[in-house]
Structure 1
């Protein structure tokens, strides 16, 4: 069971390439695929309570890199000439703590081994997608529970107390 203080580093483009829905979206628009990934991870973060950092590889794009929050998920675009793998390794070293688990989501075998060497636990793209699907089912169960429309407190009060409250409600002391 993952704890609230746990953290998850996600190789963004690795997930986009591995998840069928996102791979299809990528064919139309890479930006749409990124946004959908962030939406899915935001839902997952909201339910699991884990801190999530998504890293997108920008090593072939000039610039100094950037980081920001979208849907309360931390998003990092790597610096020029920095790969997502290198950034994830750096972040794993910085975020490693004994009091929490650090997970790295990637299907890159080499990156999985390196992350494990940094003290992180690995989770494949497929495993993360399954976990997100299971969390979505749990959320749907919670939302489908019938809501009691009756005032449950009223049923637990004595007649004397209910009468007194009713008089107060009507402004009669």
Structure 2
């Protein structure tokens, strides 16, 4: 399963409602908070983590890489978006990585490369929840009856309370994270 986590940094910060103007010192604080949370997550789970930030407008002529608390931080070079770096890394790692982003272009490219994709909001919940049990959440949702999109037609057989195979597979993959 996926062992390397590729994170779209500003996408994850933006999904938390922390998006601020690029010149703001608060953006730097949000970035540092994200890196601290990712370092804690890395210690709990043991995954290699690469977080990619945009440097295309004010960055250097070459891609900048550094390590902070065991998390690799990549700033894209001037003229290159973080999305392009993530897509390149997803093609490089293939099935051995998971991509955290809600950007459709990045998601589609990562899936085409064989990478597992986690939405930014979904991963943000994983960052906050230290002892989440996905199967418990799924069964609670079934008990509440909130999964109207999983209703089956009367022609189909099987257990109507059981999640579809694709959802069970995704839940199984998410348990690793």
TM-score, with length taken from structure 2: 0.67
| Distance apart, 1:28 and its partner CA | 5.3
Which of 44, 50, 53 lines up with 1:53 in the alignment? 50
Would you tell me which structure has more helix in proportion to its own residues? 1
The C-alpha deviation readout for 1:139-160, integer Å capped at 9, x for no partner, is xxxxxxxxxxxxxxxxxxxxxx
Q: Does the CA-based 8 Å contact 2:59-2:78 persist in structure 1?
A: yes
Does 1:115 pair with 2:110? yes
1:15-43 Cα deviation digits (max 9, x unpaired):
111114x447x865111111000000111
Relative distance call for 1:78 and 1:130 in structure 2 (3 A) is: same
* Cα displacement (A) at 1:106: 0.6
Q: Aligned partners of 1:136 and 1:44: how far apart in 2?
A: 11
What is the TM-score with the length of structure 1 in the denominator?
A: 0.68
Q: Give the equivalent residue in structure 2 for 1:71.
A: 69
Does residue 31 (structure 1) correspond to residue 28 (structure 2)? The answer is: yes
Evaluate the alpha carbon distance shift between residue 62 and residue 70 of structure 1 in structure 2; reply closer, same or farther with a 3 A threshold.
closer
Q: Unaligned regions of 5+ residues in structure 2, if any? A: 134-177
Consecutive unaligned residues of structure 1, counting only runs of 5 or more, are: 139-173
* Shift of residue 62, structure 1, vs aligned partner: 4.2
User: Among residues 119, 122, 130, which one is paired with 1:127 in the alignment?
Assistant: 122
Are the structure 2 counterparts of residues 113 and 132 from structure 1 closer, same or farther at C-alpha, using a change threshold of 3 Å?
same
| Residue from 1, 4, 13 that aligns with 1:7 | 4
